[in-house]
Structure 1
């Protein structure tokens, strides 16, 4: 009887039933699990919305195909910076109206860089060391390049991204000037010349789990990776690793709405909910990523905040990554980097 009544109500109010359904797409794993606890479950409970979750691997082609076929079934998608820029340029994401979110765009770290997506979290490329093996460890990016003071192998990602920025920092370029310098041929030459000074001492990694393992095995004295990898090694594996936040390079994940979603208004409601300071602060209880909303900081417990990329002390000399630079120059620099590695 209850089922029949519910069916009758749905048939009588098809638009209402449709309006209260939303498909949210993200990357799976511990990250999507943190989104479930901080945003998806609370939003569904508060609004009565039925949320369907899907996972993907960041394929812009899937968004493009839906939009071009005018058959959009994804309503809110977690995208990386490159997808946010490329998909916006293609016109397959809705331009974001911050008035509908109810948050000051200037309060969102990186908010001014994206017209079609709203930053949600910050993760960061950092470098770290094992305090059991280095009692007085590195403090700055310059120390990463100082093989006399800190002899031994260091691990770096097999990618020019951030390595070129760090090379210029170690060569005396201020963080605010990095992309101005790196946009010139002379600046690129300068970065590679600095990388030459440590090339023979580098172990190149391609998976984020490698650096914590190399540190634990004593095969390197320090190494770069993503902050969450080191945090997990400290928290779950009880390693005495130390993150060096100098020159950290935060990157973003962002919420976006595919062009032509029939539930744009509800998608905006979800993004507004997921952007509230207290809700972004809540996500930090489940994963060591920083909130993009700077007004979330006072809501985060001090013992949690100190391990986040967005902590004010950790952001003091951070690199504000220019995603447009890497979108424009990335392929060219990767080709040069790979040729340099082969030399």
Structure 2
């Protein structure tokens, strides 16, 4: 049997008694890092720490829902607030991985974009996956996905995120399907076959990426002539002086959400963070640091028109865009991703 000094035992007892109070000493917020993480630090994290005196530890991850699931099932939840992608909020909510959100702390649901309102979370920002290229290396600007597929007119490799999401939609648009009809077509067996066939045409020219930091690096290095990319990553490279460009036509926009993993010890503090990050002022500040659109409808009026012009939510950039269909991917995503993995491995 181990013997502990009396002081240690007293401190341990005090820690047990003060459990909830100590838990409020800090919260852990998890995001995707990179330019997005840096913008969140300026707009949300620093503002929260200043207004509450509570320290935030930020953790970077790559969207692995399995890590949240393992914590919740083991009842050892160390993450208080997590940023998740659209399809993952619905799936995680259905599986009981997230707390139900107290919307009374966030103001009126009507102040948010309809897509931002969810029982298990709130939209953090609107982002877009777009066609990007290097302005110094392409003489003629590509006008859409048909050009992305045209390796004769635009020779060179193509960067694409490794997965079925987005790529199947882009393939159908490249094959002449209107944005408004993409999910209707993709939902049929013939439509899915058509998308994979079109993707197959480009396969010898594809350089896959998984981390969002890679597409701008590919373009700057000249590894690819064009790439799919998160619009905010291209924006960050532009701010560093790189002449990278975006073709917004046929871009797919989606929302990331704030959620609280079920069973976290700091629910009240976590909810306070989400409320601050959802406020118009904080969202406007975030948009100044990265070109992702706000989900609170009153934030846009606080954003400079020059900044607005760079956002996926601006009228010019969203007019030919496709809204990522979360319900479609929740329903058919698993089968399509399995098919994609088998196709990519061939």
TM range (shorter): 0.7 to 0.9
Per-residue CA deviations over 1:54-78 (Å, capped at 9, x if unaligned) read 4152444554455445555543332
Residue 135, structure 1, aligned to residue 139, structure 2? yes
| TM norm structure 1 | 0.82
Correspondences of 1:44-83 after superposition (within 5 Å): 44-46=49-51, 48-57=52-61, 58-68=63-73, 70=75, 72-83=77-88
- Which of 179-188 and 55-64 deviates more? 55-64
SS of match in other structure, 2:207: strand
Per-residue CA deviations over 1:98-147 (Å, capped at 9, x if unaligned) read 333104257236324x3311110233221112222333311222222234
- Which of 304-313 and 102-111 deviates more? 102-111
- Which of 209-218 and 13-22 deviates more? 13-22
Pairwise CA distance, 1:207: 4.2
Partner of 1:254: 257
Residue 182, structure 1, aligned to residue 186, structure 2? yes
SS of match in other structure, 1:96: coil
Pairwise CA distance, 1:165: 0.1
Residues 120, 259 of structure 2: 8 Å contact kept: yes
SS of match in other structure, 2:45: helix
Residue 34, structure 1, aligned to residue 47, structure 2? no
Distance 1:288 1:280 in 2: 11
1:100 to 102, 105, 109: 105
- Number of residue equivalences: 330
**What's the C-alpha RMSD, in Å, of the aligned pairs?**
3.1
Q: Give the 3 Å change call, closer, same or farther, for CA 35–176 of structure 1 in structure 2.
A: same
Residue 225, structure 1, aligned to residue 223, structure 2? no
Residues 122, 290 of structure 1: 8 Å contact kept: yes
Residue 171, structure 1, aligned to residue 175, structure 2? yes
Partner of 2:292: 289
Distance 2:178 2:194 in 1: 14
Gaps of 5+ in 1: 1-9
Partner of 1:161: 165
Residues 94, 257 of structure 1: 8 Å contact kept: yes
2:325 to 318, 322, 325: 322
Partner of 1:267: 270
1:117 to 121, 126, 129: 121
Q: Give the 3 Å change call, closer, same or farther, for CA 67–240 of structure 1 in structure 2.
A: closer
Distance 2:212 2:340 in 1: 19
Correspondences of 1:296-315 after superposition (within 5 Å): 296-315=299-318
Residues 249, 320 of structure 1: 8 Å contact kept: yes
Distance 1:17 1:342 in 2: 51
Partner of 1:234: 238
Gaps of 5+ in 2: 1-13
Partner of 1:89: 94
Q: Give the 3 Å change call, closer, same or farther, for CA 261–198 of structure 1 in structure 2.
A: closer
- Which of 220-229 and 160-169 deviates more? 220-229
1:204 to 183, 186, 208: 208
SS of match in other structure, 1:118: strand
Per-residue CA deviations over 1:183-242 (Å, capped at 9, x if unaligned) read 111110121232244334433344444433443344433222222332233221x23221
Residues 86, 254 of structure 2: 8 Å contact kept: yes
Distance 1:297 1:329 in 2: 34
SS of match in other structure, 1:156: strand
Residues 134, 243 of structure 2: 8 Å contact kept: yes
Distance 2:182 2:337 in 1: 18
